[in-house]
Amino acid sequence: MNAGKVAIVTGGVTGLGRAVVERLSNRGVRIAIVGITEELGRETERSLQEQGRSVVYYDGDVSDEEAVSRVVSEIYRDFGRMDYLVNAAGIITRAPAKSVQKEDYQQVLSINLVGGLLMCQAVYPYMAKDGGGSIVNFGSMLAHYGSKNLISYASSKGAVIQMTKCLAVDWAEDNIRVNAVSPGYIETQLSAGATKDPVFKERILSRTPQRRFGRPEEVAAVIDFLLSDDASFVTGVDIPIDGGLLAGDPVLYPPAAQS
């Protein structure tokens, strides 16, 4: 990862997006965070700038095409280059498939899928003009198997993986690499309920060969690699970061041996 390069991170104020911002800015990358929580975004900006990191927050809704075009052009104007994009912005809703509302389904798709595409399209001309770039989209383990009451989220993430592959093929000639990551159960605010519920936690761990939750910094480290020149011949792939969950037998593993 070369110091001085510029990365846009959507959803970079909290959770896994924030971990990516922390990782990249610590390595000298200049960061533009795009989000819709301006007060928290400005607080994040001030906190990291006080640590000597180059981080600027931009308020923008990734599902709004005009807002995306505006904010990306502002970022290029302010930073003078555009090397990396990490699409971490996303929402999750839960509803039975038989009763999920069209409006709710479309909202999830508009942010998780369409928002990612709009950001990719917006950065494309700048990256292509300047000789290339690297993009990482957020998939999910739920892109790879079905789950009860999560049809909207799982649909959006499955489509993100296919979008990633298509963009990788389309833009390879422009030296723009596009990859994805599919995090499993990671210790974030989103998973706090699972980590506090001993029954549900054991159900998760029983399906995870490494028998633990992942850490946000472990996800950020993989994204760091995919963005960097160390991954210069890697494009169109999705990397699970799940402690072996997707690799294992879907039948629950035996309880861990007691010492």
Active site residues: 153
Task: Find all residues with CB under 8 Å of 7, minimum gap 6, and list them.
Answer: 24, 29, 30, 31, 32, 83, 84, 85, 86, 227
Candidates 61, 50, 200; CA nearest to 118 is 61
Residue type, 108: V
Length of the chain: 259
Alpha carbon distance 219, 141 (integer Å): 13
Rg (CA), the chain: 18
Residues 116 and 87 sit within 8 Å (Cβ to Cβ): yes
- The CA distances from residue 248 to 32, 154, 183, 207, 242, in Å, are 37, 20, 15, 7, 11
Strand, coil or helix: 7? strand
Alpha carbon distance 57, 77 (integer Å): 14
Q: How many CB atoms lie within 10 A of CB 9?
A: 29
Alpha carbon distance 24, 28 (integer Å): 7
Candidates 13, 121, 23; CA nearest to 57 is 13
CA angle 98, 63, 188 (to 5 degrees): 75
